[in-house]
Amino acid sequence: MTQTLATNLLENGNTTGKRNMSHDLLQCQNDDQTPLSKKELIGEMLAFTTAGSDPTAYEISAILDRICRHREVREKLLQELREVGGLEQSSTDGVVTYAQTLQLPYFLAVVKETMRLNPSFQGQFSRVSPEGSGGAGGGGGLEVLPGVVVPGGVWLSVNTYVSQRDKAIFGEDAEEFKPERWLPIGGDRYCAMAKHLSVFGYGSTSCMGQHLALQKINKTVVEVSFLLASPSVTPGHMSCYQS
């Protein structure tokens, strides 16, 4: 469907009579002032239409799956929620606020660890290696690894599924699900690891909707977790499969 929409947009332009996203995409240009190609247009349209829903839903599902699969993690998280209690009642509309979720350190660690092991994007945020006289050896290109030079003009991307399991950064237990590695929130190790968590990209091309996505993720998971933390839900009747 996206390919059909892109073809129609390139052939007929914006036929709605109103300025919208398609109009803005048609005005986009590459660095050499050429318009977006059909392939580039399809890529941009896919990013706009899927980035705000599918990745967020995937991350929410992954977090809840991790909580259900790991009994010790689940119990620590539910204990944290039981200790704070009444978050919903303290908000004006009876729903936990994003600011309140930021006061739950173990919960935030669970979110970070899940996003590390289950990134919703695994090969996006491409860059082009530099051409010209710069780069490695003055002949253009980019040294991506010691002794490994990619020629100039080549599109490059980092697979976050692999990079976020780097033992040199996240420890020898990088393949394991351990939210505790992110504690204390804001600590030296937390900051060192957070720099290599590229789920939302970096710099000027980082995800514009990342803050909205985090609000959706945090509020949804906390609300669902509150149901599990309810006194009426006993360990023998948890609404998720046991690990």
Burial class (CB in 10 A: 0-12, 13-18, 19+), 108: buried
Report the candidate in 37, 74, 59 with the shortest Cα–Cα distance to residue 217.
59
Residues 164-183: tens digit of each pLDDT: 999 999 999 999 999 999 99
Does 9 score more than 60 pLDDT? yes
Q: Where are the domains of the chain?
A: 1-51, 69-123+158-243, 124-155
Count of CB atoms within 10 A of residue 159's CB?
Answer: 13
Contact (CB, 8 A) for 91 and 168: no
Torsion angle, alpha carbons of 214, 217, 223, 224, to 10: -160
What is the CATH topology of the domain spanning 69-123+158-243?
Answer: Cytochrome p450 (1.10.630)
Indicate whether 241 pLDDT > 50: no
pLDDT tens digit sequence for 222-238: 999 887 766 554 444 44
72 Cβ neighbours under 8 A, 6+ residues apart: none
Least confident span in 64-78, 94-108, 112-126, 159-173: 112-126
